[in-house]
Amino acid sequence: MTTILIVAGEPSGDLHGARLARALVEADPAVRLLGAGGPKMKAAGVELRVETTRHAVTGIVEVLGGLSEFRRWHHRLVQTVQRDRPEAVVCIDFPDFNLRFAETAAALGTRLVYYICPQVWAWRKGRVRAIRRLFSRVLCIFPFEEAFYGKHGVPAKWVGHPLIDALAEAPPPADLRRELGIPAEAPLIACLPGSRTSEVRRHWPIFREAARRVAGAHPETRFVCAAAEDLPDEALAEGHGPRVEIARVRGRTRDVLHAATMAWVASGTATVEAALAGTPMIVVYRIHPATWAALLPLVKVPHIAMANLVANRRLVPELVQWNATPERLCRETERLWPESARAGMRRGLREVQDRLGKPGASARAALEILAVARE
């Protein structure tokens, strides 16, 4: 029996880990899957040794605050490697934790694969040396990553983006509108403030105030928030002052995006989901000021939205840090209000879809991982 340990630390990693787990079992029904992750991985048959997604954080300041939790996870996973002797460890994104854990796992003689690899081409390029030293293979989800890692001597293969497989699973847009009592002709703005509590607390007040202003100018507009399944209710607190009704659904990002006229999206995996849904979007992102000051000199790319990076041009608006305000968000929303503007963005998003590869990414990744485990 082949044993594989999958380590994910965020809701998006839990989603990709679950898809990978199902593909591994399909490729080898006898495989045993252990992991660190969340409810989706558990539902896919992974024996969770650590539950990580409830504590996911982003940014240097936030990571420092979670060091004690990271140490506990690290200890439990090291025990898992020592006791269960997996033939391979698969790291999914989450580099602040996974690169440290990989050092220990490699020292214990375990082969390592990085799936949803760190975006070292964007910032902290020095990490590529550790990846080259520790990992038997890197599986890339964006086409330009394979060439980057190959240039730095890392065995890399582009397998395509796993979210492409979800395109066929989306229900008709009318279903969600009918469920929420939203008329088919009403403009619907999807609000995706992020999957981590720290992200949502920074973005939700911006979205809430922008929604109030847009509703004043366009009273027929409806709003729906696609919240992560395990996001605490208090992260979406309404605050003080005038309110606008924002419907909330959990764990149904894809449904919300397919039903929406446009979307306000926190930078991250959700921007790829919006691109694949063909939903015109405005990307918003704020982090702790100290984290921003530390990271700004390290960033080496002209865009933060993955749709823009894949398109290699400014296809969707980006409101970052001090520019992420209700006023700027409303201004960009007005620019997208005419159907002609949204149609132009949708054409660009179709180009992004074409560049992200064909369906079957998780299955291709599973075969690569099993090959490494059996070497």
Residues 212-264 have pLDDT tens digits of 999 999 999 999 999 988 788 888 877 666 678 999 999 889 999 999 999 99
Q: What is the mean pLDDT of residues 107-111?
A: 96
- Tell me the C-alpha to C-alpha distance, in Å, between residue 179 and each of 51, 55, 119, 175, 259: 32, 31, 38, 6, 11
Q: What is the mean pLDDT of residues 53-57?
A: 59
pLDDT of residue 10: 86
Same structural domain for residues 364 and 351? no
Same structural domain for residues 37 and 154? yes
Structure confidence at residue 61 as a pLDDT band (50, 70, 90): very low
- What value does the mean pLDDT of the chain take? 90
pLDDT of residue 300: 64
Strand (E) or helix (H) holding 37: strand 32-37
How many other CB atoms sit within 10 Å of the CB of residue 92? 27
Share of the chain above pLDDT 90, in %: 70
CA-to-CA distance for 278 and 258, rounded, in angstroms?
8
Q: Please state the domain count of the chain.
A: 2
- pLDDT surpassing 60 at residue 168: yes
pLDDT of residue 289: 78
pLDDT of residue 54: 65
Residue type, 254: R
- pLDDT surpassing 80 at residue 124: no
Q: What is the mean pLDDT of residues 146-150?
A: 92
Same structural domain for residues 105 and 46? yes
CA-to-CA distance for 213 and 329, rounded, in angstroms?
10
pLDDT of residue 165: 85
Q: Please choose, from the candidates 74, 4, 66, 68, the residue with its C-alpha nearest in 3D space to the C-alpha of residue 41.
A: 4
Q: How many CA atoms lie within 13 A of 171 on its CB side?
A: 11
CA-to-CA distance for 228 and 216, rounded, in angstroms?
28
Same structural domain for residues 80 and 227? no
CA-to-CA distance for 135 and 349, rounded, in angstroms?
33
Same structural domain for residues 116 and 199? no
pLDDT in tens, 264-303: 999 888 999 999 999 999 999 998 877 766 666 556 667 8
- pLDDT surpassing 80 at residue 63: no
CA-to-CA distance for 274 and 364, rounded, in angstroms?
23
* Partners of residue 129 on adjacent β-strands: none
Q: What is the mean pLDDT of residues 196-204?
A: 91
Q: What is the mean pLDDT of residues 327-350?
A: 97
Helices and strands (H, E) in the chain, number of each type: 16, 13
pLDDT of residue 64: 44
Cβ atoms 188, 177 nearer than 8 A: yes
Q: What is the mean pLDDT of residues 333-338?
A: 98
pLDDT in tens, 81-101: 999 999 999 999 999 899 999
CATH number assigned to the domain comprising residue 17: 3.40.50.2000
pLDDT of residue 275: 95
Distance of CA 253 to the CA centre of its chain: 11
pTM here is 0.82
Instruction: Please tell me which of 121-135, 170-184, 311-325 the model is most confident about, judged by mean pLDDT.
Output: 311-325
Same structural domain for residues 262 and 206? yes
CA-to-CA distance for 95 and 102, rounded, in angstroms?
10
pLDDT of residue 62: 47
Same structural domain for residues 32 and 116? yes
Same structural domain for residues 200 and 263? yes
Kindly report which listed range (23-27, 95-99, 127-131, 162-166) carries the lowest average pLDDT score: 162-166
Same structural domain for residues 230 and 308? yes
Same structural domain for residues 146 and 173? no
Same structural domain for residues 204 and 156? no
Share of the chain above pLDDT 70, in %: 91
Structure confidence at residue 205 as a pLDDT band (50, 70, 90): very high
pLDDT of residue 125: 77
Cβ atoms 319, 325 nearer than 8 A: yes
- Tell me the C-alpha to C-alpha distance, in Å, between residue 124 and each of 63, 103, 130, 291, 292: 16, 18, 11, 14, 14
Domain that holds residue 144: 3-160+360-374
Structure confidence at residue 120 as a pLDDT band (50, 70, 90): confident
Same structural domain for residues 180 and 285? yes
Name, in order, each residue with C-beta under 8 angstroms of 2's C-beta and a sequence gap of 6 or more.
28, 30, 31, 32, 87, 88, 370, 373, 374
